Structure 1
Amino acid sequence: MFIRAYLRASTKDQDANRAEQDLKDFAQSRGLTIAATYRENESGASLKRPELFRLLSDSEAGDVLLVEQVDRLSRLNAQDWDSLKAEIAERRLRVVALDLPTSWQMLETSRDDIHGRMLDAINGMMLDMLAAIARKDYEDRRRRQAQGIERAKDEGRYRGRPEDTKRNNALMKMLSDGQSWASIVDATGVSRSTLAKLSKRLKKVTETEVS
């Protein structure tokens, strides 16, 4: 059994170091060691998370997918959550979350069949509940944000988020120098969606210069 830690932050400003230490402390307190750690800066509301699927690809039956909180694993809608659960189940992984005490017993390597099936059922039900709560929290925050923007527009106060021009210019330089997206993400923590936007902008600039 290998323990694979998954750390997700939705923006580069969210520091995952504390969460990583919490996961290490949790494992060590049980005499266990984290075999590999997977980090990425992507939204939990999207299934497009390369590091999560690299973790799944690296895993073998009986391995543990360890997260700090269930919402680090999923803020997905019901359909996408079902897809992710099916992938996890197919690979026979055990999901353990620090905010879900019922999952901690999944770390036991020796479980009789009946006990194991009962734990799986209870843990699955609790995971579903916390994933649903995480999704609702995500949707509520998005709705409040949209309402706030609409009010600001009505009152003439909305200016949008200022662009980090210095950062974006540096990222476009890295792209133009031929650096891979993966290496840029690893080095800067920027999201792939941001790189996609900057890549399109760089392409337009290049086309304009050529013409």
Structure 2
Amino acid sequence: MSQTILYARVSTVDQTLDHQRTQAEAAGFKIDEVVADHGQSGVTTKLSERPEGKRLWDKLRRGDVLVVRWVDRLGRNYEDVTDTIREFMRRGVVIRTVINRMEFNGATAEPVQQAVRDALIAFMAATAQAQAEATKEAQRAGIAAAKGSPQKYRGRKPAYNRDTLDRVLRMDAEGAGTSAIAKATSLSRQAVLRIKADPAAAAAVLAKWDS
């Protein structure tokens, strides 16, 4: 019998386990079991090497649904996150995110849909790593000690949020034109062009404001 399992990674500065479950249930997920790691780094420790991550790795079976708040709960290392998602898909596990309601399903057979799916996996994993690196940079710059002047370190706040950034990349991967993307996201053509030209940089700028 298939299960819907929520995996949560909880740190001292992140959301609580209860918050992550509440978010998932509010988004319509019926959670059968929660697997959670506490105080585990998403940068230096692979999911398969975390105490509860190991149990999750062994537990998931074909037909199961793995729910995470966002892919950064799986990890903040690009290679680890992409490898993990692809391995779970090969097993027949469906991965779904609470934020933006993304779904990664290995059963997708249509080539264009596969390409879009794989591009989104790569983009979201890169964003997770960029956010972690931006947080480190912010800490080194001493932003915590200069709360009154964040603009000195973070620059101008971007006109897009994570959902908008995901949508720009998704529409671009599907072949939509710059004007159509700008209209759909309420961004300027210039903003869309900047994101398309360097998605990693766009993600890094957003990550500085999310950190």
Structure-1-length-normalised TM-score: 0.55
Tell me which stretches of 4 or more aligned residues in structure 1 moved more than 4 Å.
117-121
Match of 1:124?
Answer: 118
Match of 1:24?
Answer: 25
RMSD: 3.0
Paired AA for residue 92 in structure 1: G
Paired residues of 1:7 and 1:67 also in contact (CA < 8 A): yes
Paired residues of 2:5 and 2:34 also in contact (CA < 8 A): yes
Paired AA for residue 35 in structure 1: D
Deviation at 1:138, TM superposition (A): 0.6
Match of 2:41?
Answer: 43
Residues 148-188 of structure 1: CA distance to partner in whole angstroms, max 9, x if unpaired? 39x99xxxxxxxxxxxxxxxxxxxxxxxxxxxxxxxxxxxx
Assess, with a 3 A threshold, how the Cα gap between structure 1 residues 61 and 36 changes in structure 2: closer, same or farther: same
Assess, with a 3 A threshold, how the Cα gap between structure 1 residues 83 and 16 changes in structure 2: closer, same or farther: same
- For CA contacts below 8 A with separation 6 or more, give which structure has more relative contact order: 1
Paired AA for residue 37 in structure 2: E
Match of 2:97?
Answer: 97
Structure 2 unaligned regions, length at least 5? 147-211
Paired AA for residue 18 in structure 1: H
Match of 1:87?
Answer: 87
The number of residues matched between the two structures is 139
- What percent identity do the matched residue pairs reach? 26
Paired residues of 1:4 and 1:63 also in contact (CA < 8 A): yes
Residues 85-141 of structure 1: CA distance to partner in whole angstroms, max 9, x if unpaired? 34323422111002233428x5xxxx8x646x6655433321221121111111111
Structure-2-length-normalised TM-score: 0.55
Does residue 136 of the first structure (1) align with residue 138 of the second (2)? no
Residues 44-86 of structure 1: CA distance to partner in whole angstroms, max 9, x if unpaired? 212032212311211111211101112112211x332343234
Structure 1 unaligned regions, length at least 5? 153-211
Larger radius of gyration: 1
